[in-house]
Amino acid sequence: MTATVDQLDLARMCAAMSRNDAAAVAAFYSPDAQLEMIDQDHPPSAPQVIRGADAIRAMYDDICGRMLRHDFDHLLSEPGVAAFSETCEYPDGGRVSLACVMDVRDGRIVHQRGVQAWDA
């Protein structure tokens, strides 16, 4: 899938994540992007909020440093919006499931909301 003005190249982003390439993944976010995550530790009334390219890059440095295996499905990328679901597996077999919806401008993510759950 090739990016148009307001379309994210989601296939390339997922490929970068599958390679655990934090720099390449972070490059898909706009400098003023905001990422919200809902999970066991961050309920819907108080999601984790990560603002700005540097903070998002630091998050992906941490995630990619864990050497997870990433499997993606339900990829959707249309002008202005993208979404995917992902299953990750740690080297020890622990799993994480994630679903994300993203607002896109100029081919980059400006806002992302995700819901994730992981093995205890």
108, 30 Cβ separation under 8 angstroms: yes
In a domain, 74, yes or no: yes
Look at residue 5 and tell me if it is in a domain. Answer: no
Residue 3: is its pLDDT beyond 60? no
Q: Is residue 3 part of a domain?
A: no
CA distance 65 to 21: 9
Prediction pTM value: 0.91
Total Cβ atoms within 10 A of residue 4: 13
Query: Is 32 inside any structural domain?
Result: yes
Residue 103 domain flag = yes
**Region of residue 20 (left: phi > 0; alpha: psi -120 to 50; beta: else):** left
Per-residue pLDDT reduced to its tens digit, 12-42: 999 999 999 999 999 999 999 999 999 999 9
pLDDT band at 63 (very low <50, low <70, confident <90, very high): very high
Note down the domain range covering 58: 10-118
Our count of domains for the chain comes to: 1
Quick: pLDDT tens for 74-103: 999 999 999 999 999 999 999 999 999 999
CATH number for position 60: 3.10.450.50
Q: With beta carbons less than 8 A apart as the criterion, state whether 23 and 117 touch.
A: no
Q: Is the residue at 111 inside a domain?
A: yes
